[in-house]
Amino acid sequence: MMNPSTFEIIAMASDKSFDPNNYAQEAQEKTVDIFANPNTAKAYEPGSVLKVMTMAGGLDSGSVTAATEETFPAFIEIQGHKIWTWDKKAHGKENMTQVLETSNNVGIIFVQQRMGKSTFYDYFRDRFGFGEKTGIDLDSESAGKLVPLKQMQDVEAANIAFGQGIAATPLQVVASFAAIGNQGKMFEPQIVKEIIEHKGDKKEIKDIKPKFVRQVVSPETAEIIKTMMEDVVLYGYGKEAQVSGYRIAGKSGTAQIPGPGGYLEDKTIHSFVGLAPAEDPKFVILVKLDEPATSPWASYTATSVFSEMASYLF
C-alpha cells in the first residue's frame, strides 16, 4: 500500500513469514529464502495488470486514443506462435477502454504493435522503470527482468504487453500505478519518513523529502488511463473491487507461472491493483495471491480482498 502523492509506503506485508525474535531457530528449520522480503526482493510475471502500462504508453505516444476501435479475432499469430484471448473467443469490435475492460490480449498487442518495439520499450524501461531498481531504502531489492531491446523478438514484445515474459517485483508494479495516480509523476519509493537524533537535551528531526525521479506520462494521459481503469471496475473484470459510495480505478491480472519446461499447468498468480478514491487517489494497493485455489481468476479473488481493505481504509 503506497501513497501515490509521495510514494511513501503506508503498509507492506507478506506470508509466509518468520519470527524475528527467534531468528536462529527459524534459520535452522527453513531455507534462507524465507528471510527475503518478497515485495521488494522477489520478481514474478505480473500478467494483465501491466496492460495498463502498455495502454498508457499507447495513449501517451499518440499511437492510439481511448476511442480507437478495431475488430479483434480470437488469436494473433506472431513468428509462428499463436497468442489467444484469455477466453479463446473473438471479442469483435472494441475501443481501447473496452480492451482493458475485457482484458483482451489480442487488443493490447494491437496497441503494442501500433507503438513499435522501440517506443514500447522506452515506456516500460525508461519511463515506468521495469528492469531497474526503484531505489527504495530497503536492503536486497531486485531489479526484476526485462529483455534488452536489441534482443527482444516480436513475440516477446507481444507477451510483455500483457504482462508475461517480464519479471517485476510487487513494489515495481505498485510504483508504476502510483505514477498513474500522481499525474504521471514517478518518485522514489520511501520507507523512512524522518530521522530523529538526540544530542543531549536537544532533539534534531530530519525530514526525508520525496525524491522526484521523472515524468512517466503526461498529466492528461494519466487522467485518461485512470478513467479507463474506473470503467474496468464498473463494467469489466474488476467489479468485485467496488466499494459502495466510492470511485475505484483498477485492473486485475491472472498470470501463468514459468517452470522448467514452460508455464505450469493449473497454477497461477492473481493480482489486483487499485487506486482510490479515483478522483484524488490517497492510496494504491496491490493484492497478490500465489497459487490460490478458490477460483482460477483474479477477478474473483484478489479484487474482493482489495474491496475489503479499501472499505476499511475509507
Instruction: State the Cα–Cα distance between residues 55 and 57, nearest whole angstrom.
Output: 5
Q: What does 184-232 look like in DSSP terms, one character per residue? A: TEEE--BS--EEEEEETTEEEEEE----EEEE-S-HHHHHHHHHHHHHH
Instruction: State the Cα–Cα distance between residues 168 and 133, nearest whole angstrom.
Output: 10
- Residue pair 229/249 in contact (Cβ under 8 Å)? The answer is yes
- Residue pair 258/107 in contact (Cβ under 8 Å)? The answer is no
Per-residue CA distances from 231 to 52, 240, 249, 273, 291 (Å): 13, 13, 8, 14, 27
Hey, CA dihedral for 255, 166, 287, 230, is it positive or negative?
Answer: negative
Instruction: State the Cα–Cα distance between residues 92 and 86, nearest whole angstrom.
Output: 14
Active site residue 48: yes
Number of Cβ within 10 Å of residue 49's Cβ equals 27
Instruction: State the Cα–Cα distance between residues 16 and 2, nearest whole angstrom.
Output: 21
C-alpha grid cell, residue 250: 483498477
Q: Bridge-partner residues for 76, per DSSP? A: 83
Nearest to 11 by CA among 289, 298, 287: 287
Instruction: State the Cα–Cα distance between residues 314 and 312, nearest whole angstrom.
Output: 6
> Which residue among the candidates 48, 63, 103, 307 is catalytic per the annotation?
48
Instruction: State the Cα–Cα distance between residues 275 and 246, nearest whole angstrom.
Output: 11
Residues with a catalytic annotation lie at 48
